[in-house]
Amino acid sequence: MPRPAQPHPLAPYVKQINPEEVYTLRQVAALLELAPTSVSGMVQHGWLPGSRMRPHTHGGRQHAWTGKQLIRIANRPVKVTYDHEKFSPATLYRVGCRCTVCGRAHSEDSLFRRRALAEDAFNVEKRTLLLDLVGKQTPVAEAAKQVGVTMWQVYGRATWDAAFAESLDDAAWSLCVLGESDSRCSTAAGYRGWETGASPRPPCRGTGCREWRRGASQQERGAPADDRELAGRR
């Protein structure tokens, strides 16, 4: 389906292009955050004209453009045809198609990239070390600091990695202040602690009390605004 002329897919990336460099097809794909096969399709469809074929380090030949060429191309509007037979849904989303298939492909591709970055920053070695530290009664915040990650990275991982979330919960029982058999375990009293009196105790951040807080937070988010305000005063 043809569309009116619109900015070239490279247009948002002009400032990232060095006019003095030479860019291979894979480098252009990385710039556009697309698969190389999608950029190959763009070449075949005439969206990236003027490439030169140069030897590939692993044999064969590859497309290449100078930075100046890419900047000129980026400044030219293109008439896009949303051809779902020629182009991948992720590519078509990047150039403006917002159909259900392309939108879903974009979401999946973005999720994959975010999780790949998360894996690089918080890899299996770091996760193993963190779980070991927590299992030895190191608070999660301190363990995260020792491993070199943030609390957001730890609990963010736990929201989508069920195996890691379960392992973290198992390890965090070591942080229980009261003990699982205590009637105050997994309650507001356990989570908040008691800093004064004859038997002061610190706030508990063991798995049971954290689960209580998680459930309470979900209830607060679902409550009307007036109820949330009252809850915050308690």
Q: What is the pLDDT of residues 9-28, one digit of tens each?
A: 899 999 999 999 999 999 99
**pLDDT for 206 beyond 90:** no
Q: Within 10 A of 160 (CB to CB), how many other CB atoms are there?
A: 12
Instruction: Report the C-alpha gap between 72 and 112 in whole angstroms.
Output: 31
Closest to 170 measured CA to CA, from 207, 203, 133, 138: 207
140 or 55: which leads in pLDDT: 140
Task: Determine the average pLDDT of the residues in 49-67.
Answer: 83
Which residues, including other chains, have CB under 8 Å from residue 69's CB and lie 6 or more apart? 50, 51
- What integer pLDDT is reported at residue 224 of this predicted model? 58
Mean pLDDT of 82-102: 81
Give the rounded distance of the alpha carbon of 168 from its chain centre. Answer: 20
pLDDT, greater one: 174 or 80: 174
pLDDT at 3: 60
* Amino acid type, 177: V
**Mean pLDDT, the chain, whole residue set:** 84
- Of all residues in the chain, the percent with pLDDT exceeding 70 is 89
Assess whether pLDDT exceeds 80 at residue 80: no
Reported pTM: 0.53
- Please choose, from the candidates 167, 180, 179, 157, the residue with its C-alpha nearest in 3D space to the C-alpha of residue 134: 167
pLDDT digits (tens, 9 = 90+) for 113-148: 888 888 899 999 999 999 999 999 999 999 999 999
pLDDT for residue 128? 96
Kindly report, residue by residue over 142-156, the tens digit of the pLDDT: 999 999 999 999 999
Provide the pLDDT for residue 4. Answer: 63
**Residue 230 above 50 pLDDT?**
no
Q: How confident is the model at residue 231 (pLDDT cuts 50, 70, 90)?
A: very low
